[in-house]
Amino acid sequence: MPKKNVTVALLAGMVALLLVTWANAVVTTPTTLPPFTGIIKNNTNCDFSLPSQNSMGTLIVPARGWIEFVVWDPKFDVIPYYNGKPFGCQKVTVTPKAFAYMCKNYDFMVEINGPGPCPAEKQYYKKYKKRVRKKKACASENSVQPQFYSKGNE
């Protein structure tokens, strides 16, 4: 009889262990967040590059332009680069559908402001030279009369 009690106790313990393990596996699985879409605006006169978070690519934000940016983390950093050097860092927290821009609702908006690192366009301070127009000589003034030679008159 004691053997039956031991086997029943072992089977009950194994079932309880399986149930606890299965319950922990169900609870601890990470929930997949939907991708968050936002806007990155560049208000400077320079093009900036951003490393993409979902691939090994690089995104370019044009000067005085904007791009849509997709992230999966609710908190992330935006570091724009100019010629391989970081221009600044902004910490962003996603707020779903909180920013209206161009008739759409976006989850975040980042603005790159300040004087850009690229040099401003140089203004031309010298006087422009006027175009010199050459006068064409009239055909009657400088024309040479053709001379005809005949065989008898040399």
Per-residue CA distances from 24 to 11, 15, 17, 31, 33 (Å): 20, 14, 11, 14, 20
What pLDDT does 99 receive? 80
Average pLDDT, integer, range 124-141? 74
The per-residue DSSP string of the chain comes to -HHHHHHHHHHHHHHHHHHHHHHHHHHHSPPPPPPEEEEEEE-SSS-EEEE-SSSS-EEEEPTT-EEEEEESSSEEEE--EETTEE---EEEE--TT-EEETTEEESEEEEE-S--SSPPPPP--SPPPPPP-PPPPPTTTS--------SS--
Q: What is the mean pLDDT of residues 8-17?
A: 70
Say which CATH class 36-112 falls into.
Answer: mainly beta
pLDDT in tens, 46-80: 899 998 887 888 999 998 999 998 888 889 899 99
Asked if the model's pLDDT at residue 143 lies above 60, the reply is: no
Contact between 92 and 74 (Cβ < 8 Å) = no
Across 29-38, 44-53, 114-123, least confident range: 114-123
Average confidence (pLDDT) over 17-35: 63
Is 26's pLDDT higher than 60? no
Q: 149 or 75, which is more confident?
A: 75
pLDDT tens-digit series, residues 88-102: 888 998 888 878 887
Q: Residue 110: pLDDT above 60?
A: yes
Q: Tokens 């910490």 map to which residue? A: 91
The pLDDT score that the predictor gives to residue 120 is: 62
